[in-house]
Every structure is written in structure tokens, then in C-alpha cells.
Amino acid sequence: MARVTAYAPASMGNVSVGFDLLGAALQPVDGTLLGDRVSVEEAALPAFRCCGPYQDVLPKDPAQNIVLRAVDAFFKASGLASQPLALTLEKNLPVGSGLGSSASSVVAACAALNRFFGEPLSQVALLKLMGELEGEISGSVHYDNVAPSYLGGLQLMVADFARKLPAFDDWYWVVAYSGISLSTAKMRALLPAHYDRGTTIAFGQNLAAFVDACYRQDQAQALAMLKDELAEPYRAPHIPGFVAAKAALTELGAEAVGISGSGPTLFSVCRDIETARQAKAYLDNCYLANARGFAHICRLAEDGVIYQSEK
């Protein structure tokens, strides 16, 4: 192919109940592009450019951009000889938002490179590479953003790969990014180094019950299990407006409210479009801190990466 473009949707890590083990890919119902795109094409000399509404928050030194680091890592992992390429990153996600911004760039870059070169890496190998690159940004290797962004839907991390869970077709996921940025590494540092036995047992029980509910399509049980035993108690006080918003959204009828990734984006689950619209209206008026913030009513992005190829 002369040019390959990959779009990787935004993702929501943890989904409250599955710290580092559960993630969901998001697609706004109004068709808004909520995810990064990377294009790869042949070139006589290496070239890299950035565009998009959030290009200004990227590192000023191109060598520090995760997309170029992905190129080097891809050639090393695939065993292919390095060659000059022209790459374009369309940055549509804010950095430090809790929407898998770095993961989206990593997934789009790795997927585009793999497709451009005829897919020398398997899905398992490519996902491993994505997780390692994401770990360079967040401070630890985890897959709950890269897996859904790459594979789509609601993904459970298992020992050797990831597995798409049966989701609930009538759920609306209302997400709101306040407009401020929070470092994933710093938000992870808020968590205790050790948890007591009761907390870890509750975490395991809740995640197991949620997975069981997904397979049995038991909405009541799944919604009851969407609670965070590990991270939210420590992170919530450090996310401006989150505690008040959670209470207000619950009053409006949201079935569950949680932190997307490490925040500040929050999510709420609504079972009808009218409640979702009311939740979005509240968030637009009361949660967004500046003009860079936004709220969207989403469904799950079932396809994950979407490709466009040109000969």
C-alpha cells in the first residue's frame, strides 16, 4: 500500500470494576471523531507532522512523540529493515484526559504500520507491543486502554490476550472531560502499595460477578457491580468536581457513575436516551472547567481500529 491510515477510538480504562483488567472503546452517537488517526506512507526521506485540535499539547521535540517511538519499536519487533516513512498524527484526544489518549496514538500508529507492511505481527504480538509503548507514557504496562482501542467493544484482559465480553445494547455511556489534564503516573501514585484482604476479595468478587452478568445478560447485576474498590476512593478527592457530579448524575437517574481511567473524565451509564441527554446537559453546564472540555453520549465502538488504505 502507498498509504495506510488507522483510526483508533478513545477508550475508558478500568470501567470502575476492573482496575487494569477491563476497558471499553467509545464512539459518540452523533458521529464525532473521538480518537486519534495515524497515516503511514512511502517517502524518500523520513517525515513526521502533527495536526488536529490537540496537537499543541504534544511534545515540542518530535523525537519524543510516541508515534515515532512506535516506528522504531515496530521495526525491532517485526524484524523488518527500517526504511524512511512519512507519518501524520491527527491528535483528536486531549492528553491526560482519562480517555486513553496515548493509547489511541500508539494503537493507531502500530496498527497502521502493521497493515502498511502486510501485517508481519500477529494480533497477540501487536497488542503486546502496544502495551509496552503505552507503559512508557503511563509508568506501567497495562492493556485496558490499548486492547479496547485496538479490538473494540468491552475487553477483559486475560493471561495471554484479551477477550471481548458480551455488552448491553441499550446502555448509553455518557463521558465528560472537564478540560484539565491529570498525569496518569501521578494518579497511579495516589494508590496504596498494598490492599487489605477484604478489599482484594471484594474486588475479585465484583469483577467475577460483572463478567458473569455480561454473559448471562443480567443488566441489574452488571450495573450493581460497576463500583470501584481499588482506585476511586483515593482518586476521587483529587478530581475537581467529581464527587458533586456523581451525586447529581445519580439523582438524575444514571445507573452507575465512575472515573474513566485515572480521570478527570468521568462516565455514567444510562439505560435510555432521555436520561443520557439530561446527564450530558448537566455535565456541559456543571462539570466542564474550560473551553477544551466536552461531553458526549456514546455507545461502545465495536470495531476498534478502522483502516483506510490507498494504493
Annotated binding site: 94-104
Binding positions for ATP: 94-104
Residue 223's nearest CA partner among 232, 214, 215 is 214
Burial readout 234-261 (b: 16 or more C-beta within 10 A, e: otherwise): ebbeebebbeebbebbeebebbbbbbbb
For residue 264, whether the previous peptide bond is cis, meaning omega lies within 30 degrees of 0, is yes
Residue 127's nearest CA partner among 161, 91, 89 is 161
How far apart CA 306 and CA 136 sit, in angstroms, is 24
How far apart CA 13 and CA 22 sit, in angstroms, is 6
Residue 118's nearest CA partner among 250, 253, 1, 246 is 1
Q: Are 140 and 189 in contact (CB under 8 A)?
A: no
How far apart CA 227 and CA 106 sit, in angstroms, is 29
3-class state of residue 117 by DSSP: coil
